[in-house]
Amino acid sequence: MTQREFRLPDLGEGLTDADIVRWLVQVGDAITVNQPLVEVETAKAVVEIPSPFAGVLVGRHAEEGTTLPVGAPLLTIRTADADGPAQDASPGGQPGSSAGRSGGARDGGGDGGRGDGGRGDGGRGDGGDGGGERVPVLVGYGPRAHQPRRRSPRRAPVAPRAAGSAAAVLAKPPVRKLARDLGVDLAAIVGTGPNGTISRTDVEAAPRVGGRPAPAGAPSPRPGTPLPPVPPATSPAPAPARPAAPGGTGLVGQIPADATYATASGTWHVPVVGVRRMMAQSMVASVAAAPHVTEFLSADASATMAARARISALPEFAGVKVTPLLFVARALLVAIRRHPMINSRWVEDGGAGRAEIQVAERVNLGIAVAGPRGLVVPHIPDADRLDLVTLARELASLTEDARADRLPPARLRGASITITNVGVLGVDIGTPILNPPEAAILALGSIRPAPWVHEGEITARTVAQLALSFDHRIVDGQLGAAVLADVGAMLTDPTLTLAWS
């Protein structure tokens, strides 16, 4: 028997650390290759890290809520002698490896769904105490010697797993998360998918048991190879009873589940980690580095709202959600074509004391969305090259995925200009903070009937509130005003969108 130390892998996207959110295995559990071990949260996403080898878990090196740097020991697994000499494993150690919302396994445990699956470039493990040769490891695939071969065209049928059996549960990471959210015990479900794999439909149809399901027992990692028993872990002393959080009744502003309660001071302590930390750092850096200026405009959007009703009835837009945000986004894209300097960023040259303005050729349109882990700004690549119906679909899909926390990390960085829709929150308008290093951010406020002078008479019109914040190092007042005025003009007269395109 040998012991292998598994280190926190490089999750890519320039990330240097991760927070331990929840352990999925306990000391003494039998571990299979590609079995999810732990949920970690980075500044970009929540990731399930799979095991690169099979064995028995003998040690965890971090508690939930702690932050680990890349390469730090994560856990130790005892493997059979046939698996080779002891060594450290650090999958994904090469630059460029990354993981999405669920970096799950292929074939064995799922692909993460919707393009969120992890990607591992060949990383090398650090030498272990036994001086064994370093073995290349891929995230989610284990040592090269134990990588699964390509699936054969012919495969022997596998009997479905009976409900409540001790066999390993076959379910993709998104399905496992859904089961946890709904309080469904996966071990009690008979999967209807290939080889008994449990699907979302199976989980949604299963009875709720309330609370989290008990972990299902896993089979011996190597049939026929006995493993010595592991003494049970010492149970920690029960923590003092946690009082109920203050009874908020709003949809937002509730005390998060990861907060701890300090009895002595009577305060809740909310950790600043993951997206919360990333957002705080970005906002402080933005205000400190970029001189913000905000300009405001009220625009008569009556013609746009009438056009919205007509477009929604077109066959090409059947099943497509046509929102005011769609027309504001299209107007901003046209305004950028007329004033390309607004689609830029300020870049400084290290210690040389020089700077330059980089103007992007394409428009990666960021949309600020309040997700379950905080404010995120996913983007639509090449939004300026999309037709109206495709742009509408992209906006709906992007918002839905962000609120469901299933966006891949690549979509959470790289925006060149951003729109934030504060009107849906019930406020008139605000002063948005730039999403660094972008030069501008457009806020869409309320759109509601208001008194307006139209054709020389005061009448009720549908009025939209707009605000444009910009970096005054790049954008002067004239350019900012021109962009904002163009957007307002196109909302007032949608034919200008065609004329200026």
User: 61, 146, 292, 472: which is the annotated catalytic residue?
Assistant: 472
Contact at 8 Å (CB) between 110 and 102? yes
- Specify which of 150-154, 182-186, 248-252, 377-381 reaches the highest per-range mean pLDDT: 377-381
pLDDT tens-digit series, residues 74-128: 999 998 765 444 445 554 443 333 344 334 333 334 343 333 433 334 433 443 4
pLDDT over 50 at 317, yes or no = yes
pLDDT the model gives residue 438: 94
Contact at 8 Å (CB) between 384 and 336? yes
pLDDT the model gives residue 486: 98
Map out the domains of the chain as residue ranges. 2-154, 276-500
Task: Enumerate residues 6+ apart whose C-beta is below 8 A from 194.
Answer: none
pLDDT the model gives residue 223: 46
Strand, helix or coil for residue 83: helix
> Concatenated DSSP letters for 325-389?
HHHHHHHHHHHHHH-GGGSEEEEEETTTTEEEEEE-SS--EEEEEEETTEEE--EETTGGG--HH
The residue with tokens 């989980």 is 203
Task: Enumerate residues 6+ apart whose C-beta is below 8 A from 498.
Answer: none
pLDDT over 90 at 320, yes or no = yes
pLDDT tens-digit series, residues 13-30: 567 788 888 899 999 899
pLDDT over 80 at 484, yes or no = yes
List, in sequence order, every residue forming a beta bridge with 77; answer none if it has no partner: 4, 57
Confidence of residue 281 (pLDDT cuts 50, 70, 90): confident
Known catalytic residue at 269: no
For 195-261, what is the HEC assignment?
HHCECHHHHHHCCCCCCCCCCCCCCCCCCCCCCCCCCCCCCCCCCCCCCCCCCCCCCCCCCCCCCEE
**What integer is the mean pLDDT of 279-294?**
84
Candidate CATH numbers 3.30.460.80, 3.40.50.1950, 3.30.559.10, 3.30.420.40; the one for domain 276-500:
3.30.559.10
Question: Are 2-154 and 276-500 equal in CATH topology?
Answer: no
Instruction: For the chain, give the percent of residues with pLDDT over 70.
Output: 69
pLDDT the model gives residue 173: 64
The residue with tokens 């509601």 is 448
Task: Enumerate residues 6+ apart whose C-beta is below 8 A from 45.
Answer: 99, 100, 101, 116, 405, 407, 408, 409, 412
Q: What is the DSSP letter of 81?
A: G
CATH (residue range 2-154): 2.40.50.100
**What integer is the mean pLDDT of 373-391?**
92
Task: Enumerate residues 6+ apart whose C-beta is below 8 A from 380.
Answer: 364, 365, 367, 386, 391, 394, 395, 398
pLDDT the model gives residue 315: 96
Contact at 8 Å (CB) between 419 and 332? yes
